[in-house]
Chains A and B, each alone.
Chain A
Amino acid sequence: MVASSFLRKCLTTLAGLLLLSFGSLAASQIEDQTEQFFRSGHTNNWAVLVCTSRFWFNYRHVANTLSVYRSVKRLGIPDSHIVLMLADDMACNPRNPKPATVFSHKNMELNVYGDDVEVDYRSYEVTVENFLRVLTGRIPPSTPRSKRLLSDDRSNILIYMTGHGGNGFLKFQDSEEITNIELADAFEQMWQKRRYNELLFIIDTCQGASMYERFYSPNIMALASSQVGEDSLSHQPDPAIGVHLMDRYTFYVLEFLEEINPASQTNMNDLFQVCPKSLCVSTPGHRTDLFQRDPKNVLITDFFGSVRKVEITTETIRLQPDLGNMESRYKKEWMDEELMEPLKYAEQLPVAQIIHQDWSGHHRIFGIPGASKHFSVIMIPSNTLTFSEQSPLSWRARPQVEDHCR
């Protein structure tokens, strides 16, 4: 009797202990999860990737931007959250021996242009004004959604810029520049309008560190490929394409990012170590004094990826198409048709109507002598040609309208 009650007591205490341990384990797991959940304060990710150089010999700047685009898309940021600005077209350039491709490694190993690219600002649209408008959100009302940066105060934004630069400026398309002061002011506008939670700014140009010297808004981390007074160098040329394919800093950043997957825990300190002076020849720099969190707690995927919380359900949901009322509807249409008149297509070249129509306020009736049966209308909508308003007599003196398409 005593033994059984003692056994029972043992069992209950054992059960109690087990429950407690499980409970604490579960609690700590939930705590871990909630801590992870609230580790960074962002709920969505955006990326603004800018290539500012024009001309075929600046192929490497487009390849730089496209390799960051590729990594960012691979790690989960969708096209609707990426604003990609390329100042020139390299893939379909007549000088490209392999059209619709942009390579980052020589011997054509990796095509960073891909099959699924969406460029938002291209060619002449990449200007300093458009870039600043995208950042600050002061865009003309008719701009389509894909060209807007619709970030809010819980967005982490990655801004990557590449091109030719100098001490305190970055050159856009060989015709204008943006200074580091303008950039810092744009970021301050973004901060005051609550357009970002945290911002990572990466720049790969000559003397890139000068571009982040003037930042003064909080929560900005900046990386650059070279210090003031140093040039950023290009990596390797390809003999078939004939130009340098990538810049050194972005080449090693791409290699680093290829190892990252959406679940990896690599932090920013590893990114700061990418491309030491022995590989890059220039000294990459970074600035973290405006950033509130410690860089070793900041994950790479906080800026380069878009980690979304997804719950998978195993229930099946059936969606039934409704076929019942379709038949009666088409019968109704059939009866309606009997009452309406038949419609017809427009005549493509109604000669009589064109000749006799009222054109620019004057009635001009001109017949073409020796009229042939073949007419065609030649339209020249060029703003370089001007037709002077002369007397109708001069119209007759013009050459005959001939059949043009032979």
Chain B
Amino acid sequence: MAAALPLVLFVLLLLGPVGRGHAEPPRDSLREELVITPLPSGDVAATFQFRTRWDSELQREEVSHYRLFPKALGQLISKYSLRELHLSFTQGFWRTRYWGPPFLQAPSGAELWVWFQDTVTDVDKSWKELSNVLSGIFCASLNFIDSTNTVTPTASFKPLGLANGTDHNFLRYAVLPREVVCTENLTPWKKLLPCSSKAGLSVLLKADRLFHTSYHSQAVHIRPVCRNARCTSVSWELRQTLSVVFDAFVTGQGKKDWSLFRMFSRTLTEPCPLASESRVYVDITGYNQDNETLEVTPPPTTTYQDVILGARKTYAVYDLLDTAVINNSRNLNLQLKWKSPPESGYVHYQPAQDRLQPHLLEMLIQLPANSATKVSIQFERALLKWTEYTPDPNHGFYVSPSVISALVPSTVAAKPVDWEESPLFKSLYPVSDSSSYFVRLYTEPLLVNLPTPDFSMPYNVICLTCTVVAVCYGSFYNLLTRTFHIEEPSTGGLAKRLANLIRRARGVPPL
């Protein structure tokens, strides 16, 4: 055994020069990218994409040398004759209403859809075997995919890569909504990356931060793409994407300032040496909106403008392969800060204290022209003590109306008020400025229904309890504390004898 090892090394050395005669490996390249998007709700979304492009004809030749493209997936493509594979694991739901449109959304749970090549004879058998193999690679329960949850869509899910015919018989789609995503799915996903999690953008992928998010989606997409602009030959493209949305309230403690360290508990130190491109894009479209300015440090050297998802967006670009970006401090910690100009409004809020004082909220707002402003407040209903209820609680409880005091600009300049000369209806409110008039408006009072307890219950309970106590306890008490003895009837006294005499005389039976 000990001698076998040097022998093996010797044999390897021998084989080395001989092996060079075979075909050299095709070219492959890696591009990695991170897009950071501050969302309108104060959260921040981060989308990682790692794209490995491999100029090889996997179907035609015997491939034995893998460099950047992972061997596990390459062997899958050739063994099961795949044309396209899309697999995603998601936890959470992308809230389009609060966050805007997503780059790439995936359903909650696990989703797998695959296009097979037209050389496959038994698509269902290949589909079943493929889902079993993928469940082993990604540590997920994809082996539960069978005919009960697989469909063959006929109109949607056209191939995303090159296609010369779309016979939907070669397409299969399945979703497992109960599938959980956790570190055990992230670990094999990270191991497919060329730089694993040692260098480049993938050092930011730490499980304890990535799963403390409102939305987490990781996916693997394999498809054939054009090798060049003329599109005469085919390359294989592997895209690994990971989207997370960090919650401002949970992770950011309510503040809207973000930095890479706060999001991922890591900073970027060096680019992946195997990557030909390694960039970070920060969405600075909201640079000047809502009277807040977004400041990004360190300041970007270049920006990128384009129409994305139907809107014109601007991105700040940080190229990690550019030595100026990282060299200054040996690490890159991007920071986003929202700066608002000095406050021109006023808010005063005094919360309620139970049985002491009510809520008071006062706001000074400037209403924009030709618009509707809506102010809404959420409140909770607390339970009252049973003595605090009014005799008619089913009527409800009133919340006092709100007051709006407004200074409305007037279109026509008014004359200054003379208190003694002008009529009484003009001098209700003292006005100093003739260009606007003062008005105080009230809203309707609010009637709130509280759940009403059944007030007759105490009476019912007392009656029932007393009856039970009287019947049961009383009977036992009697049985236990009273003795019964037979009483001889007494023979009677003088009055009884006299009465019996009179009764005998009348013919009535005696006492």
A-side interface residues toward B, CB under 8 Å?
Answer: 89, 91-92, 98-101, 113-120, 122-125, 142-147, 309, 311, 313, 315, 317, 319-320, 322, 325-326, 329, 333, 336-338, 340-350, 354, 357, 359, 377, 379, 381, 383, 405
A-B pairs, top 3 by smallest CB distance, nearest first, are A144-B136, A92-B182, A346-B163
Q: Which of A146, A322, A341 contacts B136 (CB 8 A)?
A: A146
- B234 touching A343, Cβ below 8 Å: yes
Question: What's the minimum C-beta distance from B234 to chain A, rounded to whole angstroms?
Answer: 7
Collect the chain A residues with CB atoms within 8 Å of residue B133's CB: 142, 144
- A92 touching B91, Cβ below 8 Å: yes
- A100 touching B207, Cβ below 8 Å: yes
Question: What's the minimum C-beta distance from A297 to chain B, rounded to whole angstroms?
Answer: 22
- A118 to B9 CA separation, bound complex (whole angstroms): 32
- A201 to B232 CA separation, bound complex (whole angstroms): 61
Asked if B24 is an interface residue, CB under 8 A from chain A, the answer is: yes
- A120 touching B16, Cβ below 8 Å: no
Question: What's the minimum C-beta distance from A366 to chain B, rounded to whole angstroms?
Answer: 13
- B9 touching A313, Cβ below 8 Å: yes
Collect the chain B residues with CB atoms within 8 Å of residue A145's CB: 136
- B129 touching A322, Cβ below 8 Å: no
Q: Which of B166, B183, B234 contacts A91 (CB 8 A)?
A: B183
- A98 to B182 CA separation, bound complex (whole angstroms): 13
B190-231 interface code vs A (CB 8 A; 1 in, 0 out): 000000000000000011101110000000000000100011
Interface-lining segment among B43-51, B152-160, B338-346: B152-160
Q: Which of B137, B141, B155, B162 contacts A343 (CB 8 A)?
A: B162
- B135 touching A115, Cβ below 8 Å: no
Question: What's the minimum C-beta distance from B87 to chain A, rounded to whole angstroms?
Answer: 15
- A257 to B414 CA separation, bound complex (whole angstroms): 90
Question: What's the minimum C-beta distance from B463 to chain A, rounded to whole angstroms?
Answer: 43
Collect the chain B residues with CB atoms within 8 Å of residue A113's CB: 183
A92-B91, A118-B139 are known contacts. Are A343 and B212 too (CB-CB below 8 A)?
no
Collect the chain B residues with CB atoms within 8 Å of residue A343's CB: 162, 164, 226, 231-232, 234
A-B Cβ contacts below 8 A, count: 151
Collect the chain B residues with CB atoms within 8 Å of residue A98's CB: 208, 212
Interface-lining segment among B143-151, B277-285, B356-364: B143-151
- A379 touching B141, Cβ below 8 Å: no
A124-B141, A340-B233 are known contacts. Are A329 and B24 too (CB-CB below 8 A)?
yes
Collect the chain B residues with CB atoms within 8 Å of residue A122's CB: 139-141, 180, 184
B343-374 interface code vs A (CB 8 A; 1 in, 0 out): 00000000000000000000000000000000
- B128 touching A118, Cβ below 8 Å: no
Asked if B173 is an interface residue, CB under 8 A from chain A, the answer is: yes
Collect the chain A residues with CB atoms within 8 Å of residue B137's CB: 144, 146
- A120 to B136 CA separation, bound complex (whole angstroms): 7
Q: Which of B6, B135, B188 contacts A118 (CB 8 A)?
A: B188
Collect the chain A residues with CB atoms within 8 Å of residue B156's CB: 349, 377, 379
- B188 touching A340, Cβ below 8 Å: no
Collect the chain A residues with CB atoms within 8 Å of residue B210's CB: 100
- B207 touching A317, Cβ below 8 Å: no
Q: Beyond A89-B180, A143-B136: 19 further Cβ-contacts under 8 Å? A: A92-B91, A92-B181, A98-B208, A98-B212, A99-B211, A115-B207, A118-B187, A120-B136, A123-B180, A142-B129, A146-B136, A146-B139, A329-B24, A341-B232, A345-B161, A345-B162, A345-B226, A348-B158, A379-B157
Q: Which of A100, A319, A354 contacts B208 (CB 8 A)?
A: A100
A116-B187, A119-B184, A345-B161 are known contacts. Are A337 and B212 too (CB-CB below 8 A)?
no
Question: What's the minimum C-beta distance from B115 to chain A, rounded to whole angstroms?
Answer: 10
Ordered by A's residue number, 22 sampled pairs between the chains whose C-beta atoms are within 8 Å are: A89-B180, A91-B183, A100-B183, A100-B212, A115-B206, A117-B183, A122-B141, A122-B184, A142-B129, A142-B133, A144-B132, A146-B137, A322-B20, A337-B230, A343-B162, A343-B231, A343-B232, A345-B160, A346-B159, A348-B158, A381-B149, A381-B173
- Look across to chain A and name the residue whose beta carbon is closest to the beta carbon of B132: A142
Asked if B2 is an interface residue, CB under 8 A from chain A, the answer is: yes
- A119 to B179 CA separation, bound complex (whole angstroms): 14
- B208 touching A337, Cβ below 8 Å: no
Asked if B13 is an interface residue, CB under 8 A from chain A, the answer is: yes
- A347 touching B158, Cβ below 8 Å: yes
- A145 to B233 CA separation, bound complex (whole angstroms): 35
Collect the chain A residues with CB atoms within 8 Å of residue B457's CB: none
Q: Which of A117, A325, A346 contacts B166 (CB 8 A)?
A: A346
Asked if B36 is an interface residue, CB under 8 A from chain A, the answer is: no
- B153 touching A379, Cβ below 8 Å: yes
Collect the chain B residues with CB atoms within 8 Å of residue A117's CB: 183-184, 187
- A384 to B442 CA separation, bound complex (whole angstroms): 52
- A124 touching B16, Cβ below 8 Å: no
Collect the chain B residues with CB atoms within 8 Å of residue A101's CB: 208
Question: What's the minimum C-beta distance from A69 to chain B, rounded to whole angstroms?
Answer: 11
- A383 to B176 CA separation, bound complex (whole angstroms): 12
Q: Which of A115, A354, A357 contacts B187 (CB 8 A)?
A: A115
- Look across to chain B and name the residue whose beta carbon is closest to the beta carbon of A350: B158
- B13 touching A317, Cβ below 8 Å: yes
- B154 touching A337, Cβ below 8 Å: no
- Look across to chain A and name the residue whose beta carbon is closest to the beta carbon of B231: A342
Collect the chain B residues with CB atoms within 8 Å of residue A344's CB: 162, 231
- A12 to B13 CA separation, bound complex (whole angstroms): 45
A317-B12, A343-B164 are known contacts. Are A357 and B154 too (CB-CB below 8 A)?
yes
Asked if B34 is an interface residue, CB under 8 A from chain A, the answer is: no
- B141 touching A125, Cβ below 8 Å: yes
Q: Which of A125, A309, A381 contacts B2 (CB 8 A)?
A: A309
Collect the chain A residues with CB atoms within 8 Å of residue B233's CB: 333, 336-337, 340
Most buried by A among B9, B162, B166, B208: B208
A99-B212, A100-B207, A354-B155 are known contacts. Are A147 and B20 too (CB-CB below 8 A)?
no
- A118 to B12 CA separation, bound complex (whole angstroms): 32
A92-B91, A344-B231 are known contacts. Are A124 and B144 too (CB-CB below 8 A)?
yes
Collect the chain A residues with CB atoms within 8 Å of residue B139's CB: 118-120, 122, 146
Q: Which of B128, B136, B140, B155 contacts A377 (CB 8 A)?
A: B155
- B12 touching A99, Cβ below 8 Å: no
Collect the chain A residues with CB atoms within 8 Å of residue B412's CB: none
- A92 touching B180, Cβ below 8 Å: yes
Asked if B511 is an interface residue, CB under 8 A from chain A, the answer is: no
